[in-house]
Homo-oligomer: A and B are copies of this chain.
Amino acid sequence: MKNFWNPLVNNLKPYIPGEQPQDQLYIKLNTNENPYPPSPKVLAAIKLAANERLRLYPDPECTELKNAIASYHGLSPEQVFVGNGSDEVLAFSFLAFFDPDQTILFPDITYSFYPVYAAIFRNNYHTVPLRDDYTLPIDTIPHKNGGVIFPNPNAPTGISLPLISIENLLQKNKDSVVIIDEAYIAFGAESADKLINSYQQLLIIRTMSKSHSLAGLRCGYAIGNKILIEGLNRIKSSINSYTLDRLALAGGLEAIRDTLHLERTSKKIISTRDRVAAKLRELGFQVLPSDANFLFISHSILKAEELYSQLKLHGILVRFFNAPRINNHLRVSIGTDDEMDLFLHKINDICSSK
């Protein structure tokens, strides 16, 4: 039977998100969700917005939300773009700024959605190999390129770059867009947002999924100079005029405003992460230094894939990537202290039984 697909579709290898079991039988440490509930103000705002005005289209300009994000970063609203999660913002950015006739660069070990975007939007890419210690050799990035994208901190390693290294890159790389994916910036690394007004080629992308406990609301954004933002607006308005519904707009607004909630929950996660990292090292694990809400770990004897399966049998989901250089690592999201104690307990059992 004929498939009727645009030939492009045959070559796509879509992104596969971490397992999302729809029952509640697992402790989910596999998709970097925040273990704490979103701000009560967010939930209240959504309930209030669940009214008969849902019959009307949302504000296509997302004015209130943009204003709040601009104010949070000390920028102007014209420097803000909002979208349906950072994944959509990333996709639109690939389409807006990366010319298929040039070659873009990203790390060889990074967010595995980047090569998927490159495939669907026909971008050529080269990967920049991480060093053996999984740090990004940012000084070696060639300055002739069609664009650069990397997360800070990187995923799935959790390792962050200091701001001075990012600024060095921006000083040398002036002719193409540099996208910094700050999905995990709330958990200890320094944001490059203070460089926005100095470097017109800098675009920073964020999501409320992890930092604001709103993976289920689909709220992401980009900040950059207003001409970059205009490019994103053109893409969005050529695909879907309204990518955020009235509920996401209402909830996202309160999330950005409740900085105290963000600070409290991030601090708890950082503290749990550092405690768990120390325990894992005691148990013989190598743990990469993480500024994210997850740990990237390996063990010299226990194989990662088997450990993943053992943990799943015991009701704990973590993330295993069957990919070069990282197929003996596990990415473990930071849950509550109770969840992580149970995780450590099970890990200890598995180690002892070997």
| A contacts, CB < 8 Å to B | 1-9, 12, 14-17, 20, 22, 28, 31, 33-38, 42-43, 46-47, 50-60, 63, 84-85, 87-88, 91, 95-100, 116-117, 119-120, 175-177, 200-201, 209, 213-218, 227-228, 230-231, 233-248, 251
Contacts and interface: CB of A to CB of B under 8 A. Distances in A.
A116 B234 CA distance: 11
Interface of chain A, main secondary structure: loop
Given A12-B234, A98-B6, A240 B88 contact: yes
Given A5-B97, A46-B54, A218-B242, 8 more contacts: A5-B96, A6-B100, A12-B235, A20-B56, A37-B52, A38-B55, A58-B218, A84-B240
A99 B217 contact: no
Contact of A6 (B36, B99, B238): B99
Nearest to A4: B177
Task: Count identical subunits in the complex.
Answer: 2
A203 B84 CA distance: 25
A251 to B, nearest CB: 8
B15 A96 contact: no
B6 A95 contact: yes
A245 B243 contact: no
Contact of A46 (B20, B35, B247): B247
Nearest to A210: B55
B56 A215 contact: yes
30 contacts: A4-B97, A4-B201, A6-B95, A7-B99, A8-B95, A9-B96, A9-B235, A12-B234, A14-B234, A14-B236, A15-B237, A17-B241, A20-B57, A22-B59, A22-B63, A37-B54, A38-B54, A43-B52, A43-B54, A46-B46, A50-B50, A53-B216, A58-B218, A85-B242, A88-B239, A88-B240, A88-B243, A91-B240, A217-B246, A245-B247
Contacts of A8: 95
Contacts of A3: 227, 230-231
A289 B98 CA distance: 47
Contacts of A213: 52, 54-55
B238 A12 contact: yes
Contacts of A43: 50-52, 54
Contact of A9 (B5, B52, B231, B244): B231
A59 B19 CA distance: 10
A59 to B, nearest CB: 6
Contacts of A237: 14-16, 116
B46 A33 contact: no
A242 B217 CA distance: 10
Nearest to A43: B50
Contact of A209 (B28, B57, B85): B57
Contact of A15 (B46, B201, B241): B241
Contact of A176 (B4, B95, B201): B4
A343 B102 CA distance: 55
Nearest to A175: B2
